[in-house]
Structure 1
Amino acid sequence: MSNKDTDAMSKKNDEKPALVPRLRFPDFRDEEGWGSEFGDEVFAQVSNKDHNSDLPVLAITQEHGAIPRNLIDYHVSVADKSIESYKVVEVGDFIISLRSFQGGIEYSKYHGICSPAYVVLRLKRGHSADYFRQLLKTDRFIAQLNKNLEGLRDGKMVSYKQFSELPLPIPSQAEQQKIADCLSSLDELITAEGQKLDTLKAHKKGLMLQIFPREGETVPRLRFKEFLNEGDWERVSLGDLGTLVSGLTYSPDDVRDEGLLVLRSSNIKDGRILLDDCVYVDPEIKGANLTKPDDILICVRNGSSALIGKNAIIPKGMPLCTHGAFMTVFRSECAHFIFQLFQTPAYQNQVAADLGATINSINGGQLLKYKFFVPKQPEQTRIVNLLSSLDELVAAQTRKIDHLKKHKAALMQQLFPAHDEVLV
C-alpha cells in the first residue's frame, strides 16, 4: 500500500459526524449537516514563478489581505534580481503569511507577485472563494490553526503540510454562496461606512489647515467674521499654557486584576481613550499621579516612533486612573483648544524634529518648549466648538463601524459550525 493510500485511509478513518451551524438560512434548514474536508482536498499549493517581473509586488497584510505595496504605506525596497524568484498570485488565490497563526489566511483580489517565502494556495473546483475568504479569517479557524501548530512562534510560518491537516467545514456550494453573499454584503456596508468616516476625517483635516495659521503665518486663512479685525495670534510656548504631570513607573509584580487603572499608549486610538486593554495596580502604590477629566494624555516613549506624540483627552466619567511612565499628561485650563492644536502640523512637525532618525522618545522639558500661535479665549472657544462637533460626528461614525464589525463577528460564530457541534 502506498503512502498516499495510507494517508487517504487515515483521513477517512478520522472523519467525524456531520457538522451543523447554529444559524442556518431557511432554504437549508431541512438539509443534512455539513461535511468536512482537509485543507489539501480543498486547496492546491501553487508556486508559479513564470513572470517578467512587471506585475505589482503584493504586500500580505491582515488588514487588507494581499494588496499592491504602492496602495498602502509600505516602504520595503526589493532588488530587481530578487523579484525574479517571486511567485505569481492570481485573483482569488489565498496566501499563508508569517502572521497567519494570528490573523488567518489572506485573500488576494489582485494579480501580482509575492515573496517566495509565502505559501500560495489555489482553491480547487466546486467551492466558493468568498466562502473561504470569510471562513479562513474566523476566530474559530485561527484557534484551530493554533491548536494544530503547537509550539509555533514568531519567525516561523505555517507550512502547506500543516494547513493540509486541518479539517474545514464544507456545506453545499449553494449554501457556501449564500453565506458568502450575506457576509460580503456586510463587508460592503462596512466599507461604505468606512468611506464616510474617511470623508469626515479629511473634511476636518482640511478645515484645520484653514483655521490654524500655517508655517510662517501669524493668522489663519479662514476666520470667524467676528474676529476678522482681532489682529495676529500670539506666539507662545506650550509651557505658557499649562503643566506636565509625570507617569508612574511600575513592575509586572505590581499588576493586578482590579484597582487603579494605568493608562498606556494602547489606550489611545484615533484621539480617543479606549478601555479594551487595561492594566491595574494597587490604588495605594507610591508615585501615582491621578489624572483628571480634560487632561491630555500624551505618549512620549514607545518602541515604535510612529506612536510617539499621539494623544487623547481624558473624558468625564473615566474610572479612577493614572498613567504609565511612557506617558505624560498635559494639564491646562484651555485643554480642549490645545488638544486641537495637537492635531495640527505645527505640533506633529515639532514631534518629528525631536525624534530625528533614531530616538524613540520626546523629553518633557523639550515638549514644554514647543511653539504655537494661539488666539484670545473667545476665538479659542469658537474653534473648539466647531472642531469638537466634527469630532463627535467622527466618534459616532466610528462607533457605528465598530458595531457593524461586532455584528459580523457574532454572525460568523453562528453561520460557521465548530467541530464539536455535530448532528446527533
Structure 2
Amino acid sequence: RKFQGWKCMRSKSDKKKSLVPSLRFPEFREAGAWEVKRLGELASRITGRVGSKKLIPISISSGVGFVSQAEKFGRDISGKQYEKYIALERGQFSYNKGNSKTFPQGSIYQLQEFEDAAVPNAFYSFEFKKKYVPEFYNGYFEKNFHGHQLARFITSGARSDGLLNISAADFFSIVLPTPTNRDEQQKIAHCLSSLDEVIGLQAKKVQALKQHKKGLMQQLFPAEGETTPRLRFPEFREAGAWEVKELIKLAGRGTERNQKGKIKRVLTNSAEHGVLDQREYFDKDIAIQGNLENYFVVDQGDFVYNPRISSFAPVGPISRNDVGKGVMSPLYTVFSFRQSDTDFFAHYFNSSAWHSYMRKVGSTGARHDRMAISNSDFLAMPLSVPNPKEQQKIAHCLSSLDEVIGLESHKLDALKNLKKGLMQQLFPQDVA
C-alpha cells in the first residue's frame, strides 16, 4: 500500500493484537509491540488559571474542535468564572466532559486554532511530555479510543450541568498504546496530517461552492421589498416584475393526523440537512411511539416548517420532504403546493428572501430558541413568484449547482472514510 510516497506493510507478528497495529511502515516492522502507557504517564495536567490575563474564552464543539464562545453561543458565557478558566497554549489538549452524538463519552482536541486561549476549568487540560509526539495521539482521540474506555466509568449519566460524571483520576487512567520509537510516532502523525491537508483543501472547495450558490441565490431572488431580482436570464429580462402572492393562494396546510398511530416512521426537519428520518439524525427515536397519533402525516413532496431557531436557520427552516411518507411533530407546520413542479420553491426556501416577513410577524417567545407564529400569519407569507418557465430555469440552474456540490461532497466523504480506515490499521484495536 502506498500513501504520500510511503509504502506501508502489514506486520508479520500477530501477537498481542491490542498492542500491535495491523499496518506498519517497513522500517518499523520488527520494532515489536507498542508500550502500554496510561495518559497520566504520557502527559501532565494543566491547571494554571487565567487570572488577569486577557485571553479569548473558548469552548469545544464536537466534530469541529475549539471555537470561541462568541461563535458557539453568540456571546461570551464565561462571566465571573473567567479568572478561574485554564490558560491553554497552542499544541496543548483539553477534554470536554459533555456528551454528544459523535463522542458520547466526551471529546478531546488539540488547540490549533489560537496561539493561546481560556478554556473552562470543568475541562481536563493537559500536554504531552517532550519524549512523545503530541500529534500522534490525535489519531486515538479522533477515533474515540478514549471514549470506549471511559464508558465503564459512567454510572449515573450527566450531572445537572450537563457534564459526564468522570473524575480526573479515571480520565488520566485511559490507556494509549505507544510506539517505543519516537520516529514511528512521528511517521504516523505526519502520514495522517498529510491526509488532513488533502481533506482540508477538499472541504474548502465544497465550502466555496456553497458560498457561490448562496451568493447566486441572493441575485436570482428579489431582495427584501423588491419584486425583481438583480440577475435574470436573458430571455426573461423584459418579463416584468414577479407577482407577489400569499402562500395560502399557492399552497394548502396539511392537517391530517396519524390515525391510531399507524405510521411509525418519524421524520424531522434539520436546518442543515433538511427532512430526514429522526433515528438517522439523532441515532435514536426521540418521539414516544405510543404518542404518534397526534403527529401530522407528511407525504413525499410536502413542505415542512420547523420553528426551532439555529445558526443555520435564524427564523427556522422550511424544507421539502424528499425522503418519503412519515409523520412529524405537531410543533411543525406542514403544507403542500397545488402545482406539481415545486423545485423552484424548494430552492426559494433555502434563500433568505422570506426571513424578513417571519421576523416581522413572529416572535421568539420566552425560550428564545423557537419562532412563535400563528397559522394565519404563516399562510399569509408573501412570496415573489415568476412565470412557470422562469421558475423552471432558476430551479434547473440551482439544481445543477447542487449536483456539483454533491459530487465534491462525496469526494470529501471518501477522503474522510479513507482516513478512518487507515487509522483503524495504523493504531492497535481498543484495549478496554
Q: What TM bracket, shorter-length normalisation?
A: 0.7 to 0.9
- CA 1:247–1:302 in structure 2 vs 1: closer, same or farther (change >3 Å)? farther
Aligned residue in 1 for 2:85: 86
Q: Aligned letter for 1:413?
A: Q
Match of 2:346 among 331, 339, 347: 339
Q: 1:134 to 1:348 in 2, by over 3 A?
A: farther
Q: Give the secondary structure class of the aligned counterpart of 1:217.
A: coil
Structure 1 residue 120 and structure 2 residue 129: aligned? no
Q: What's the counterpart of residue 189 of structure 1? A: 198
Equivalent of 1:234 in 233, 240, 243: 243
In structure 1, the partner of 2:58 is: 58
CA distance in 2, matches of 1:344, 1:157: 42
Q: 2:177 aligns with which of 133, 145, 169?
A: 169
TM-score (norm 2): 0.80
Task: Give the alignment's TM-score, normalised by structure 1.
Answer: 0.81
Q: Relative to 1, partners in 2 of residues 1:108 and 1:149: Cα closer, same or farther, differing over 3 Å?
A: same
Q: One-letter code of the match for 1:192?
A: L
Distance 1:18 1:309 in 2: 47
Whole-angstrom distance in 2 between the partners of 1:167 and 1:382: 58
Pairing of 1:191-206 with structure 2 (within 5 A):
191-206=200-215
Count residues in correspondence.
Answer: 395
Q: Which residue type is aligned with residue 45 of structure 2?
A: Q
Contact 1:246 1:327 in 2 (8 A): no
Q: Does 1:403 align with 2:414?
A: yes
CA distance in 1: counterparts of 2:106 and 2:40, whole angstroms: 20
Alignment of 1:28-67 (within 5 A): 28-49=28-49, 52-67=52-67
Please say if 1:386 is aligned against 2:397.
Answer: yes
Matched residue type, 1:371: P
CA offset at residue 248 of structure 1?
A: 4.9
Q: Secondary structure at the match of 1:297?
A: strand
- Cα gap change, 1:187/1:261 in structure 2, threshold over 3 Å: closer, same or farther? same
Paired position in structure 2 for 1:178? 187
Partner Cα distance (2:244, 2:364) in 1:
24
State, as a whole percentage, how many aligned pairs show the same letter: 29
Shift in CA distance, 127/198, structure 1 to aligned 2, threshold 3 Å: same
For residues 17 and 241 of structure 2, the distance between their equivalents in structure 1, rounded to whole angstroms, comes to 77
Which residue of 2 is the match for residue 145 of structure 1?
A: 150
Match of 2:24, SS? coil
Aligned to 2:12: none
Q: Which residue of 2 aligns with 1:373?
A: 384
Shift of 1:305: 10
Match of 1:5 in 2: none
Q: Flag as ranges the 4+ runs of structure 1 deviating above 6 A.
A: 302-305
Segment drifting more, 376-385 vs 81-90: 81-90
Q: Report the CA distance shift for 1:396/1:356 in structure 2 as closer, same or farther (over 3 A).
A: same
Residue 336 of structure 1: CA displacement? 1.4
Instruction: Determine the C-alpha separation between the residues in 1 that align with 2:417 and 2:392.
Output: 36
Contact 1:94 1:107 in 2 (8 A): yes
C-alpha distance in 2 between matches for 1:399 and 1:338: 25
- Please point out which of 132, 154, 164 is paired with 2:137: 132
Q: Using a 3 Å threshold, how does the CA distance of structure 1 residues 159 and 21 change in structure 2: closer, same or farther?
A: same
The Cα of 1:403 is off from its aligned counterpart by: 2.8
Structure 2: segments with no counterpart, 5+ residues: 1-15
Matched, 1:104 2:90: no
Identify the range of structure 1 (402-411 vs 350-359) with the bigger mean alpha-carbon deviation.
Answer: 350-359
Q: Which stretch shifts more, 32-41 or 141-150?
A: 141-150
Contact 1:247 1:323 in 2 (8 A): no
CA distance in structure 2 between the aligned counterparts of 1:260 and 1:230, rounded to whole angstroms: 47
Aligned to 2:363: 355
Task: Quote how far apart the aligned CAs of 1:415 are.
Answer: 2.1
